[in-house]
Structure 1
Amino acid sequence: MTYETDIVIYGGNAAGIMAAVQAVRMGKRVAVIEPSGWIGGLTSGGLGDTDSGDKAVIGGLSGEFYKRLGIKYSQDEPAWLFEPKLALEVFQDLQQEFNIQIYYGERLDLVDGVTKQGNKITQITMESGKVFQAGIYIDTSYEGDLMALAGITVVTGRESNELYGETGNGIQTAHALKNQLPEGIDPYIIQGDPLSGLLPHVNLDAGGVDGVDDTKIQAYCFRMCLTDNPDNRVEITKPEGYVEAEYELLFRSIAAGQRIFFKLAMLPNRKTDSNNDEGFSTDYIGMNYGYPEGDYQTRQAIIKAHEVYQKGLVWTLQNHPRVPQEIRDFYKPWGLPLDEFVDNGHWSPQLYIREARRMVSDVVMNENHIMLKQIVENPVGMGSYAMDSHNVQRHIDANGYVANEGDVQVKSVKPYSISYHSIVPKEAECSNLIVPVCLSSSHIAYGSIRMEPVFMVLGQSAATAAVIALEDKQSVQQIDLNKLADQLLRDGQVLVKKW
């Protein structure tokens, strides 16, 4: 079956829904293709403690989203701390209000999913055989599958510092100070015995000197929504597939003094957004390298492994005899909320894909743009969060102990603009595709841009550009950028903050 529309959006996460709303507001027909049965992505998948940075630059539909959440809580101000189920409600409200057609459970055919004539996509094909045809395509997925299948130049991993004149890219051992393991942890299965082999997921070395490139990916995790309300709580039991050896490093970290293992950032109604914290935590370091370019089966196995690891972590902290009683007592009250993720065993359906593929286009957002050392032309939104890379690997350091590598945290000077040229491919590669999530950015710059409010901003801007391209019969690279800026400003986007 073939479906024809004006704009096809691949990915029903927060960016995708905002792109759809904007397209409908501007009078265009839109189809949203969501590979799962869930909309809202990470925003409705557990990230209730918003990584907002400077809230003054979160405009347009993104700002409206948080205002709508505030209304859900009967408050006049936007809600920056919220329960996943209410975020989902807001996305569903928008879907109904704007009559957005969402095709759930439809995945791109990873072999023959994109058909092009020259540099133009003519149709995309799902595994089910459904075909979607449109004038413009927007890839809002966290993985960038549509982008990659369309033949766009992409990169994964970390560039060298030398490539774009950066300081926080590439391998980072000296700067990996946050979320670091306690000092002095032996790396071998039998302590002091190299012949016994290394602990799971510990490398012999970092793979090179600081600042050189590699293909490794910063760690993923689930943002766990937990509660200690006994009337709304289900216990996390020992998961099937639990392997105690996965937690030997945890036991040694405890022996070396670690006492906090994940955040309990409080949301309304005694719920948490529990994220990675300290040296051994919810990030499953080194276990996601095959995800960005993996097929669906590979990715599903990685997602399941992360779920087992994190549930196993909670169970271990609550129950294992090698965990001191005071730590067990601290974590024991926490379980999964009965009123969250009711169709998925109360566990989030969305793994935190902090970074996958990134486009390489005519403008590559990099550290110098973030730090205001390089001018950004034709902005379509702003970011303000720190450049934030989670750890990438574990290795034996110069002293012979286990260390984490890759965690870099550098605050931006002030909010910075994001270039339109970083969300469109090179015209020779594709003239009718926009990529607001897996945009053209270096690894370390993406660590700041990759925040859900910013993705929503860029989703709206992408849809605005798509409508202009359709109406003016232009490629997305050749649209009138003054017209785009005028429309974005009319619709409440913040493009340049004035102090």
Structure 2
Amino acid sequence: MKRMKTINIVTVIASLVFFSCNSAGEKEGEAITADIVIYGGTSAAVTAAVQAKKMGKSVVMVSPDTHLGGLSSGGLGFTDTGNKTVIGGLSREFYHRVWMHYNQPEAWKWQEKSEYGNKGQGTAAMDSVYKTMWIFEPHVAEQVFEDFVKEYEIQVFRDEWLKREDGVVVENGRIVAMETLSGKLFRGKVFIDATYEGDLMAAAGVSYDVGRESADTYNEKWNGVQKGVKQHKHYFAYDISPYKVAGDSSSGVLPEVSAGPPGEQLAGDDKIQAYCFRTCMSNHPENRVPFPKPEGYDPQRYELLARLFEAGWREWFEKFDMIPNRKTDTNNHGPFSSDYIGGNYDYPEASYERRREIIKEHENYQKGLLWFVANDPRVPAEIQSEMKKWGLAKDEFTDNGNWPHQLYIREARRMMGEFVTTENELLKRSPVPMPVGMGSYAMDSHNVQRYITPEGYVQNEGDIGVSTKGPYAISYGSLVPKAEECTNLLVPVCVSSSHIAYGSIRMEPVFMILGQSAATAAAIAIDDQVNVQEVNYDKLRKQLLEDKMVLESPSAPGQKP
């Protein structure tokens, strides 16, 4: 279902009156002012801030997060690289700095460097030719982001949350100021929303979408409801009953199964792909913390997994991807895993309070899952005995009980901007105007729902993995709102794209690329005194290339096209 947010004139007038009577008058001397104001603490926010400083602009980061880097420092250390030759600019510098860290002997505390297998996702973990490291520990990534901030003397306001109801002042289609819940007021010439949720974008009255479009909305094949698609291993290959008493529909439906219909094939809906935490585990006895038993633990929540094990499924450890020092980036794998399917539908639009509840629900679900596998007697002995060798990494996320501080927000709002990127651009069916970066990862959506088939068995729906058949360009038009909605905002994370196209764009290296491109455009808009939609593309392209960004597919020895 399409959800479009347009400017509410009454709200805007009310907010203008509020600021002119209160904030602007009483806080004028206290306002924090910069050329570019960046809202967010993600990897894109950091690269945008660095690029702004490199372009000679004053910049301030307003981060709701305490820890910088988003998923890149929040557990996703087994990088979704795709074709690494199209990762340029500050994104590549990030991975180069990680490489430099792991070339120091003291970086290898829990294992010898020679013991590490050097396996990455489609590439070597440590690339001696390009001097990049694509696989890393969470605390190492966070330190790289902190180093960026320190070296470029970027002012960061942490734990500052946008006042979403009336905290954004829009005058004549331009954001004038934004206020946070603490009462701080930020004024800028250009604003960048670099959050996973797109809260600044939405509060400014910019149109956006949530959920899946129907396949015919943009003439796509892989959008909308996708029943019967079996491209990964994340579907039920066994006939598993969804009922509390197996085979007895009158006994009620098990937890984590929807009793409602999945929808018509290829139809749009307002559901989104599942979230999870990318947990960092260790099997080193001195750096391992036993899996905690969450409050309200209910083993029945994992009955489907018990039935899977009973049916013969044994792939539990397949996504314990190894990162340095005997740790993992553990991701969802299989029909019943760490993805909390259906637990996030209201997250994109939810209040802060409700989002915190959703995050806690995901944490409890996933902690309960780990406890179940490590302790429940229904788990096969060979899996449970191996699972007991693992625990949370003691030296990661030390201020959060060794649990990741960032939920994997795989998709929330998506702006409907000047240009909508779809699978047609990713598959090279349609041209891409004004490219400002490239992606290459498969169009990858995790499951969206778990339902009951007409035959009375449980099944997942929404998991898609379709190759883009080589790198693709991302248009500048996907970073900017429609000109009639806002003329001084750039959005490098919740970019203008369809659901399935976003499934590829949403990779962390790409977010860093687009963050840098957004800041470059913001600086040019300020210099030339034009709206962001009117930025001279030739000038933008020239600057991006000078900064070693990649805007078209290069050829490299040994690199698949």
| Fold similarity call, TM over 0.5 | yes
User: Mean Cα displacement is larger for which, 255-264 or 78-87?
Assistant: 255-264
1:275 and 2:331 correspond: yes
Q: Give the corresponding residue for 2:515.
A: 459
1:190 corresponds to which letter in structure 2? Answer: V
Contact 1:261 1:282 in 2 (8 A): no
Q: Give the corresponding residue for 2:264.
A: 209
**What whole-Å deviation, never above 9, does each CA across 1:248-298 have from its counterpart, x for those lacking one?**
111111112222235110001101000001111100001000100001111
Map 1:214-233 onto structure 2 (within 5 A): 214-233=269-288
User: Mean Cα displacement is larger for which, 42-51 or 255-264?
Assistant: 255-264
Q: Give the corresponding residue for 1:55.
A: 84
1:334 corresponds to which letter in structure 2? Answer: W
**Secondary structure at 1:311 match in 2:** helix
CA shift for structure 1 position 177:
4.2
**Secondary structure at 1:328 match in 2:** helix
**Secondary structure at 1:186 match in 2:** coil
Matches of 2:196 and 2:88 in 1, distance apart? 22
2:271 corresponds to which letter in structure 1? Answer: K
**What whole-Å deviation, never above 9, does each CA across 1:322-379 have from its counterpart, x for those lacking one?**
1121111121111111111111111110000000000011211000000000000100
Matches of 1:489 and 1:144 in 2, distance apart? 28
Contact 2:40 2:65 in 1 (8 A): no
Q: Aligned-residue CA RMSD in angstroms?
A: 1.1
1:133 and 2:187 correspond: yes
Q: Give the corresponding residue for 2:116.
A: none
Matches of 1:246 and 1:176 in 2, distance apart? 24
Matches of 1:39 and 1:243 in 2, distance apart? 34
1:145 and 2:199 correspond: yes
Q: Give the corresponding residue for 1:70.
A: 99
Q: Give the corresponding residue for 1:402.
A: 458
User: Mean Cα displacement is larger for which, 425-434 or 258-267?
Assistant: 258-267
Contact 1:7 1:137 in 2 (8 A): yes
Q: Give the corresponding residue for 1:156.
A: 210
**Secondary structure at 1:252 match in 2:** helix
1:161 corresponds to which letter in structure 2? Answer: A
Q: Give the corresponding residue for 1:182.
A: 237
**Secondary structure at 2:50 match in 1:** helix
CA shift for structure 1 position 241:
2.3
CA shift for structure 1 position 206:
4.1
**Secondary structure at 1:5 match in 2:** strand
TM-score calculated relative to the size of structure 1:
0.98
Q: Give the corresponding residue for 2:137.
A: 83
User: Mean Cα displacement is larger for which, 42-51 or 396-405?
Assistant: 396-405
Q: Give the corresponding residue for 1:491.
A: 547
Map 1:294-313 onto structure 2 (within 5 A): 294-313=350-369
Match of 2:305 among 250, 254, 269: 250
Q: Give the corresponding residue for 1:112.
A: 166
Contact 2:415 2:481 in 1 (8 A): yes
Matches of 1:204 and 1:45 in 2, distance apart? 33
1:385 and 2:438 correspond: no
CA shift for structure 1 position 205:
4.9
Contact 2:439 2:510 in 1 (8 A): yes
Matches of 1:318 and 1:200 in 2, distance apart? 20
**What whole-Å deviation, never above 9, does each CA across 1:388-435 have from its counterpart, x for those lacking one?**
000001001132200000001001111000000001000100000000
Matches of 1:210 and 1:492 in 2, distance apart? 43
Contact 2:85 2:554 in 1 (8 A): no
1:31 and 2:86 correspond: no
2:204 corresponds to which letter in structure 1? Answer: A
Q: Give the corresponding residue for 2:3.
A: none
Contact 1:8 1:137 in 2 (8 A): yes
Q: Give the corresponding residue for 1:193.
A: 248
Contact 2:77 2:136 in 1 (8 A): yes
Contact 1:115 1:122 in 2 (8 A): yes
Matches of 1:11 and 1:423 in 2, distance apart? 16
Contact 1:222 1:350 in 2 (8 A): yes
Q: Give percent identity, aligned residues only.
A: 54
1:45 and 2:74 correspond: yes
Contact 2:257 2:458 in 1 (8 A): yes
Contact 1:176 1:404 in 2 (8 A): no
Contact 1:67 1:78 in 2 (8 A): yes
Contact 2:86 2:554 in 1 (8 A): no
Contact 1:380 1:420 in 2 (8 A): yes
In structure 1, stretches of 5+ residues that fail to align are none
